[in-house]
């Protein structure tokens, strides 16, 4: 496809699940930008770095590679580790550092420059790919998002409580929406989809229908 698709929204809105399916169906490449911020967060935890300048230095030297559904940092597969609670609780603090955002944005723009990318995150439609042909902002009620994430983590065998997940999401939403650089907002040309009462397939079809209309039903 000779275009990019940007999908933004808060945690648990269904971005990555929907973006992966859209990418598969349209033969495009899915890029999870949250994984990049999580990878830098993991690296800073593993290296015991708390000073902002040290973290920026780590990020500058880090080689992040997203290969299909796996994420590698400096050659190590960190796909599972970047989802742990410690990383989840720290990631928004790292993601608000302007220099880190500049670094990640450059990498993301480089990845998307030849088009054919479905990219999800918080600032894709507003900052990373402001010219993306299709932009979607997925959202859902807090309780629904917390419940989805809770069920997902329980399925994976992680020990969490619904209360803990809800608290994490509230904090992360707040930090992501209130940071100085590229906060989570709805791009003015994004299509907003409230997924609260919708199944994954319903959301996927809504997006595909929109794109099909845009492409003159040639898909
Ligand atoms: O999957 P989940 O919604 O839990 O989060 P994620 O997409 O893995 O993103 C983790 C965190 O990275 C977010 O809470 C943001 O703080 C940050 N992030 C960001 O600032 N900008 C992006 N484009 C993507 C993620
Ligand atoms: O990427 P994001 O944090 O926005 O959400 P996700 O990781 O795609 O979705 C979180 C969980 O909600 C996953 O387990 C999905 O299967 C589930 N989900 C759902 O139940 N209904 C939807 N309409 C979308 C996602």
ipTM score = 0.97
The protein residue with its alpha carbon nearest to ligand 1, atom 9, reads 34
153 lines ligand 2 (CB under 6 A): no
Range of the domain at 207: 5-212
Nearest to 199 by CA among 125, 142, 152, 148: 148
- CATH code, 69: 3.40.50.300
Q: Which ligand is in closest contact with the Cα of 194?
A: 2
101 lines ligand 1 (CB under 6 A): no
- Please report which confidence band the pLDDT of residue 177 belongs to, taking 50, 70 and 90 as the band edges: very high
Q: How many domains does the chain have?
A: 1
204 lines ligand 2 (CB under 6 A): no
| 45 located within any domain | yes
| 204 located within any domain | yes
Longest dimension (CA), the chain: 53
Question: At 138, is the secondary structure helix, strand, or coil?
Answer: strand
Average pLDDT taken over every residue of the chain: 95
Task: Tell me the pLDDT tens digit for each residue of 62-80.
Answer: 999 987 789 999 999 999 9
Task: Tell me the pLDDT tens digit for each residue of 9-29.
Answer: 999 999 999 999 999 999 999
Total residues found in the chain within this entry:
219
Q: What is the pLDDT of residue 85?
A: 87
The protein residue with its alpha carbon nearest to ligand 2, atom 17, reads 148
For the full predicted model, state whether its pTM sits above 0.90.
yes
| 219 located within any domain | no
Distance 122 CA to ligand 1 centre (A): 6
Ligand 2, residues 7, 12, 13, 199: which to mutate, most atoms within 8 A of Cβ?
Answer: 12
Measured at the CA of 160, the angle between CA 159 and CA 163, to 5 degrees, comes to 160
| 217 located within any domain | no
Measured at the CA of 19, the angle between CA 73 and CA 95, to 5 degrees, comes to 45
| 218 located within any domain | no
Rounded Cα distance between 96 and 11, Å, is 16
* Residue 136, H or E segment: strand 134-139
| 194 located within any domain | yes
Phi-psi region of 74 (alpha: psi -120 to 50; beta: other; left: phi over 0): left
Would you say 33 and 119 are in contact if contact means Cβ atoms under 8 Å apart? yes
| 122 located within any domain | yes
């Amino acid at each position: 496809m000779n275009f990019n698709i940007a999908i933004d929204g808060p945690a648990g809105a269904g971005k990555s699940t929907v973006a992966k399916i859209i990418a598969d169906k349209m033969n495009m490449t899915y890029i999870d930008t949250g994984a990049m911020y999580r990878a830098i967060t993991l690296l800073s935890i593993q290296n015991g770095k708390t000073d902002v300048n040290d973290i920026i230095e780590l990020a500058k030297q880090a080689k992040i590679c997203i290969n299909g559904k796996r994420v590698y940092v400096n050659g190590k597969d960190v796909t599972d580790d970047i989802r742990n609670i410690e990383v989840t609780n720290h990631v928004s603090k790292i993601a608000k550092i302007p220099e880190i955002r500049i670094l990640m944005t450059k990498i993301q723009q480089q990845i998307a420059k030849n088009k054919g990318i479905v990219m999800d995150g918080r600032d894709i439609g507003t900052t990373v790919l402001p010219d993306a042909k299709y932009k979607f902002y997925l959202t859902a009620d807090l309780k629904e998002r917390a419940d989805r994430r809770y069920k997902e983590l329980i399925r994976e065998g992680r020990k969490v409580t619904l209360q803990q997940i809800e608290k994490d999401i509230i904090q992360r939403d707040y930090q992501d929406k209130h940071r100085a650089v590229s906060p989570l907002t709805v791009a003015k040309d994004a299509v907003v989809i409230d997924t609260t009462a919708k199944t994954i397939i319903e959301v996927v079809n809504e997006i595909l229908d929109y794109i099909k209309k845009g492409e003159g039903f040639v898909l």
